[in-house]
Amino acid sequence: MAPCLLGYHLNLLSQIPPAVHSEVASALARVGEPAVSGLLEMLQDKEWTVRWQAAHTLGRIGDTRAVPALVDALQDKEWTVRYYTAYSLGWIGDLYTVPALQDACKDESEKVREAAEWALERIRERFPETSPDQE
């Protein structure tokens, strides 16, 4: 995707109705790594619907540059953002995320707790020689 179109798609997520966000997010996921920096900025958007789509899309892309920002997003005030963030961290599968995911297993939202447990299981499968519970 040309840089000008990439910027256009990134800008769309904060300007379009939430019902269309998934279409734009899917397009950005297909773009892959070039979309990461813009998606990282979108994790700070005032609209929670933009933040969860950004978190979800970063997980689909799987770029480890997103890990620190996603770990921070596990503290978002909206449970939906925390939920998609936990899943995204599982898709990326970085051992660095284990302590934050363990904390998310105590989240007030059952859905967030389940997503964090799933993410930790994915990391266990990816690194069987290193138990995430011991990190």
135 in a structural domain: no
How many domains does the structure of the chain reveal? 1
Tens digit of each residue's pLDDT (9 = 90 or more) over 27-66: 666 666 777 888 898 899 898 988 998 999 999 999 999 9
pLDDT digits (tens, 9 = 90+) for 92-133: 999 999 999 999 999 999 999 999 999 999 999 998 876 655
Count of other CB atoms within 10 angstroms of residue 108 = 8
pTM for the structure as a whole? 0.80
Q: What is the CATH number of the domain that holds 50?
A: 1.25.10.10
Residue 78 structural domain: 3-128
Give the pLDDT band (50/70/90) at residue 12.
Answer: low
Phi-psi category of 117—alpha, beta or left, where left has phi over 0 and alpha has psi -120 to 50? alpha
Sign of CA dihedral 41, 52, 86, 28: negative
Q: Check: CB of residue 42 under 8 Å from CB of residue 14.
A: yes
